Homo-oligomer: A and B are copies of this chain.
Amino acid sequence: MIEETSPQNIDRRIQMAVEAFRFLKNTTIHERAEFMNAVADQIEALGEELLTAAHSETSLPLARLTGEKARTTGQWRSYAKAVAAGIYTEARIDLPQPEKQKGDIRKYNVGIGPVVIFGASNFPFAFSTAGGDTASAIGAGCPVIIKAHPAHPQTSQIMADAIATVVSAFGWPEGIFSHITGTSYEIGAYLTQHPDIRAIAFTGSFNGGKALFDIASRRENPVPVFAEMGSINPVFAFQQLLETKAETLAKEYSTSLTLGVGQFCTNPGVLIALRGKPLDRFINTLKDEIQKIAPANMLHKGIFENFEKNKNIALKQPDVEIIASGHTEAEGIVGNASVIKTNAETFLNNPVLSEEVFGPFGIVVVCETEEELMEIARQLKGQLTITIAATNEDVRDNSTLINVLKDKCGRLLFNGMPTGVEVVYGMQHGGPFPSTTDSRFTSVGPDAVKRFVRPISFQNWPDEFLPKELKNENPLQINRMVDGTMNSESLKLQTT
């Protein structure tokens, strides 16, 4: 039974977060990085209890959870390193130039304020209570109020306790991190509407993310919402590649489509190609591969039921045909993989087929002409990823099409598959609407910190009162842009 945090307790926690913000925004980047590394250590030290709880609550295999735990501590550590390097401080100093400029103007980024984060169900560690959103908000200097995902309450509590332990060990205000539980829609709306909350982060369904976006943008003081709402992550498979590698591609596609029972936001839900013998070979191999997939439980009953419902809606559309399906004898909440086939005209004219079906479900769209390929590209909504399965020659032959596709995604792959989102600076996990609510930011990689900062300028302040980041001496030894040039030097000025 999940306890519903009362509005009074939520108000109290948010008030504590407001007060903790006054503390946290005045910590240095090194202090926050030290805190983040300590959280990583604390999570790393969590033993069997964490893995057992997560396994029992999510059905995810222990091997996967062990990997996800390492990813989670890796996120805290790599974001800490980026924060300590001052990358998100973006210090700018413009010194007085009597002939051109009147003032001494210095700018740096501070935390935007208390942030509400909604944990995701499909990554109980990496995108949930102690996930990348929490790490990036704290790295930015923002207290976090977590709305725990109700599908893994015990896991969430263990992670929340780990963070609280570090807060306490550091002697930092308790309000830096709060753990709110509940299952109602109202509790999420209440958090999002609260005037002292300055930003929202969410990973989940389109309906959930869009509802939060609407609430936040209709507040008296609107605030940004970073909702990662998934997508169908199209794969465009081109002729030469199919001719030489239809079978390899089918194997890769099948593996990616069914990885983690298809429960990834980068799951490649649609593959688009020209009709022909190579595509037939692809489909034949895909059929065999899908049948080999061992059945497995989905994350929870709600996800399983939605998967079944949405899959069956897709299957009942006119002019679609099942080309591959997994073990039909499976029972319980087993996500049974299916792939259907349709033609471009049907795909273009039936919006149902462009909806994400969260789980191991794919559509192969068979085009008659290159114009149909282009029309699909043109009509495509915003996506987290698009994959180009192609030879170099294919790319040269389809440059106009690929140029169109660049406007539709956050990450463009050349071969390979989109599942497996690397936690690196180069990662963009966030695409044009409706895949996310704000394509200008990523929720994976250290750059995720950027979402939660805003700049403040100081004009003509005596050195003594400037934040460390902007002092002449540069005590934090960070890179700063001084009169347009990057350096990490001390300024040799007479201090006032």
Contact = CB atoms under 8 A, between A and B. Distances in A.
B213 A456 contact: no
Contacts of A433: 221-223
Interface stretch (A4-12, A280-288, A330-338, A407-415): A407-415
Which among A94, A395, A426 has the greatest number of chain B C-beta atoms within 10 A? Answer: A426
Contacts of A395: 462, 465
A93 B425 CA distance: 7
Contacts of A94: 422, 424-427
Interface in A437-486: 437-440, 442, 447, 453-462, 464-465, 479, 481, 484, 486
Contact of A454 (B106, B420, B440): B440
Contacts of A382: 221
Interface stretch (A97-105, A228-236, A291-299, A317-325): A97-105
B422 A105 contact: yes
Interface in A82-131: 82, 92-94, 101-103, 105-107, 110, 112-113
Number of contact residues on A: which range applies?
35 or more
Given A224-B438, A440-B224, A465 B414 contact: yes
Interface of A: 21-22, 25-26, 81-82, 92-94, 101-103, 105-107, 110, 112-113, 213-214, 217-218, 221-224, 382, 392, 395, 403-404, 406-407, 409-416, 420, 422, 424-428, 430, 432-434, 437-440, 442, 447, 453-462, 464-465, 479, 481, 484, 486
A25 B404 CA distance: 11
A460 B413 contact: yes
Q: What are the 5 tightest A-B residue pairs by CB atom distance, in nearest-first order?
A: A105-B426, A428-B457, A217-B217, A94-B424, A94-B426
A416 B459 contact: yes
A437 to B, nearest CB: 7
A373 B317 CA distance: 66
Nearest to A444: B457
Contact of A392 (B112, B407, B422, B462): B462
Given A94-B426, A426-B93, A426-B94, A457 B412 contact: yes
30 contacts: A21-B407, A25-B406, A92-B424, A92-B426, A94-B425, A94-B427, A101-B424, A105-B422, A105-B426, A107-B427, A107-B428, A110-B406, A112-B439, A112-B440, A213-B222, A217-B218, A221-B432, A222-B433, A392-B462, A392-B465, A409-B456, A410-B455, A411-B456, A411-B457, A412-B457, A412-B459, A414-B459, A425-B481, A425-B484, A428-B457
